[in-house]
Amino acid sequence: MRKSAASSFSFPEFRGATRRLVLANIGAFFALLIAGLAAPEATGAVVGHLLFRPDLFVRGELWQPFTYSFIHSGILGTALELVSLWFMAGFLEQMHTPSWVTGLYASSVLGTAGAALAIYAVSGTLGMTHEPVSLYGCFGGIFGMLVAIGVLYGDMEFLLFFTIGIKARYMAVLYGLITIAMLFTQQRMYAFAQLGGALAGVLFLKMAPRRGITFAFSEKFYGVRNRYYRWKRRRAARKFEVYMRSQGRTVRFDGQGRQLDEDPDDKKRWN
């Protein structure tokens, strides 16, 4: 992977995918805050189905991996999450496309939910009793971005607690070790899910196209569309060959449906 020379970190521009992600989370936070003031019981019931709970997911609430990251609790915690999101996403967007950043974030968020679902399934299979953990917040996406920065730009330096300079790779390792330590506490399900987000971020770096998921899907779509059009052209060419033979004429097409040049000495070509 590409490594960058040591440099200092500063808050990046607020634009593109960074702005969309931060504003979407802010909008969801204030929408639920206002709804909670107007109808607290109804809002609480709705939020209960927007969080990610593995037991509810397997019962059919399949939207939860896509909605839980927009649910936040507490003003201070939300502010820290969104500042971190702005910092991580904005830095990556300076070197990558907005679709790439969005793909990394979405992959990490889904990977977090997938890890929580996996440990829930394994616990049930082994007969272990664990209270289902409700996931909320974009911590998984942020952790995936932090790992991406540590892998791609490990020599970049920024201030830990605004005082201690530390390289990005060591910062990612530090957070990883803290999360692993949490596996031995009552928050082990939460920690395992967060590690799933980090793993999803690494897999995205290894497998995703440079231009992002959106570009890959568009390329796939146009490839399928072009194959369909080529099939229609070959089919029309075969029908035309049959028709021309019925008229006593011979035409030839290649495997792509393109007409082959006739013998220039054939004076009866279109006579």
Instruction: Please name each of the domains of the chain with its CATH number.
Output: 16-208 (1.20.1540.10), 225-271 (no CATH)
Enumerate residues 6+ apart whose C-beta is below 8 A from 168.
Answer: 149, 150, 153, 154, 155, 156, 157, 158
The pLDDT assigned to 269 comes to 46
Scanning the structure block, which residue is given the tokens 């896509």?
66
Q: What mean pLDDT is predicted for residues 198-227?
A: 70
Q: How confident is the model at residue 23 (pLDDT cuts 50, 70, 90)?
A: very high
For residue 125, the model assigns a pLDDT of: 67
Phi, psi of 166 (to 5 degrees): -150, 140
Whole-model pTM: value is 0.72
The Cα–Cα gap between 250 and 244 comes to 6
Alpha carbon distance 154, 63 (integer Å): 35
Q: Quick: pLDDT tens for 64-90.
A: 999 999 999 889 989 999 999 999 999
At residue 254's C-alpha, the angle toward residues 251 and 257, to 5°, is 85
Beta carbons of 92 and 85 less than 8 angstroms apart: no
pLDDT at position 196 is 92
Task: Provide the sign of the torsion angle of the four alpha carbons 187, 91, 98, 153, taken in this order.
Answer: negative
Classify residue 259 by its DSSP letter.
Answer: B
With residue 15 as reference, give the H or E element that holds it: none
pLDDT interval class at 156 (50, 70, 90): confident
pLDDT bin (cut points 50, 70, 90) of residue 252 is confident
Read off the tokens for 11. 């808050």
Assign 157 to helix, strand or coil: strand
Output b/e per residue, 238-260; b: 16+ Cβ within 10 A. Answer: eeebeeeeeeeeeeebeeebeee
Higher pLDDT, 128 or 77: 77
Neighbours of 94 (CB within 10 A): 12
Residue 165: pLDDT band with limits 50, 70, 90: confident
CA distance 176 to 154: 15
User: What span, in angstroms and rounded, lies between the C-alpha atoms of 92 and 241?
Assistant: 56
